Amino acid sequence: MPVSEKIRASMERSSWIRKMFEEGIERKAKFGAENVFDFSLGNPDLEPPSKTVDILVELAKDPTPGNHAYMPNAGFPETRQAVADYLNTFNGSRASAGDIIMTVGAGGGLNVVFKAILNPQDEVIIPKPYFVEYNSYLDNHQGVPKIVATHPDFSLNLEAISEAVSEKTRAVLINSPNNPTGKVYPKEELAELAKLLVHHGARLGKPIYLVSDEPYRKIVYDGTVVPSVFDAYRESIVVTSFSKDLSLPGERIGYIAANPEISDKVVLIGGMVLCNRILGFVNAPALMQRAIRYLLEDSVDISIYQRRRDIFCEGLEAAGYEFEKPEGAFYLFPRTPVEDDAEFVAALQEENILTVPGKGFGGPGHFRIAYCVEDKVIEKSLPGFKRVMDKYR
Ligand SMILES: Cc1ncc(COP(=O)(O)O)c(C=O)c1O
């Protein structure tokens, strides 16, 4: 066998993703791409703001020697300072360059955090549904996911989190705005979570980290504000990227920000910087680090995603679907009218509508729609959504 047994097993577990991909390609060839409604991937369709390209062109032409060389593993000091200054515009705390580590996207950042903080078999509590790659990221560093329930509206179930805390708990991992639900955790909920973590941390005699994965922070609707975890809880670490808000997922740029007040900061940051290096990332891409310094306040036009959410919500509601209206990100997570969400997703496929079963996110009885596609794709798909629902009602 060319790969390890573990990777072989992971490949088998994720084969349904490949199957869906293949099914999509097949259907597009058979029915024409314009007649297949692909809502399966969270790959933003909007192009990055034109300012991004202008800055990249300008920076690429800059002949200063060393522009393409290695730099400190945490990233360019000027970029880290710019990120800290930006964070200080909406966090009460005062971050400085030393609190920031530039990373290879949020995925790279999460791996750096977990490699740095986890001892073998340490547990990380994750409310479900959740971004399924978290399982692999934890496994990479011998961590163990402890998946806990949320309430039916996907708000945090603090009792479930509290019950899940054990001697082995190292962190709680949250994602707000959430993939796949679009939920944003309000300030009061974070404050309650913080109280609970302070209590258990004191009881166990060690801090429990709150790791907040926030790549969708800027993608929020109706004036929703994503509250600061730094303001809620001292032992907090934010991981984020520019993949979604600037539509740059292929460029692999993001960062880790540690709460400026976090315990044992020097060792923690030093450990994470080392992990950025020894995981083989070495440092985040140099050109992108230099560019995002000038793009921290920017984003794609979020009103486009809000319009798509509204078209979808209106159409699905009229067709009889039940769902929580997303407050952010670009996903909908409706309930399926049958228990078997894979069966329902297969029925949608017959209408050339490609979605993902909720059980892939630890949320059975639901399915995920990614609406980072053109309005007309959504509009054209709605009659198919209705026909499938009518069959089940
Ligand atoms: C919740 C969540 N976290 C992290 C990531 C990884 O993002 P990046 O491309 O920045 O690694 C994604 C990507 O889809 C995501 O949805």
Q: How does pLDDT run across 43-63, given as a tens digit for each residue?
A: 999 999 999 999 999 999 999
Which pLDDT does position 18 carry in this prediction?
A: 72
**Is residue 175 helix, strand or coil?**
strand
Helices marked H in the chain: 5-13, 15-31, 50-61, 77-87, 105-117, 133-140, 158-164, 187-204, 229-232, 265-278, 286-292, 302-318, 341-350, 375-392
Are 112 and 272 in contact by the 8 Å Cβ rule? The answer is yes
- C-alpha to C-alpha distance for 391 and 389, rounded to whole angstroms: 5
CA nearest ligand 1 atom 7, residue: 106
How much is the pLDDT for 250? 96
**Residue 18 CB-density burial (10 A; 0-12 exposed, 13-18 middle, 19+ buried):** exposed
Angle between helices 302-318 and 375-392 (to 10 degrees): 20
Instruction: Find the 210 Cα to ligand 1 centroid distance in Å.
Output: 17
User: How confident is the model at residue 102, as a pLDDT?
Assistant: 98
Residues 6+ apart with CB under 8 A from 259: 93, 99, 229, 230, 233, 234, 235, 236, 237
137 DSSP β-pair partners: none
The ligand 1 atom at the shortest distance from the C-alpha of residue 178 is 1
Beta carbon of 247 within 6 Å of any ligand 1 atom: no
Whether 182 lines ligand 1, by a CB cut-off of 6 Å, is no
- CB of 111 closer than 6 angstroms to any ligand 1 atom: no
Q: What is the pLDDT of residue 236?
A: 98
Indicate whether residue 215 lines ligand 1 (CB < 6 A).
yes
Q: Which is the closest atom of ligand 1 to the Cα of 242?
A: 10
Q: Which atom of ligand 1 is nearest to the CA of 42?
A: 14
Please name the residues in contact with 315: beta carbons below 8 A apart, sequence gap of 6 or more.
Answer: 378, 379, 382, 385, 386
137 contacts 110 by C-beta, under 8 angstroms:
yes
Residues 121, 145 contacting (CB under 8 angstroms): no
CB of 181 sitting under 6 A from ligand 1: no
Dist CA 62 CA 54 (whole Å): 13
Quote the pLDDT of residue 21.
76
Contact (CB, 8 A) for 166 and 134: no
Say how far apart CA 51 and CA 54 lie, in whole Å: 5
CA of 101 to the centre of ligand 1 (A): 17
Pocket test of ligand 1: the residue of 17, 110, 111, 133 to mutate, having most ligand atoms within 8 Å of its CB, is 133
Residues 6+ apart with CB under 8 A from 201: 207, 208, 235
- Which of 227, 230, 218, 228 is CA-nearest to residue 297? 218
Token readout for 372 is 């980072």
Regions in the chain scoring below 70 on pLDDT: 17
pLDDT at residue number 143: 98
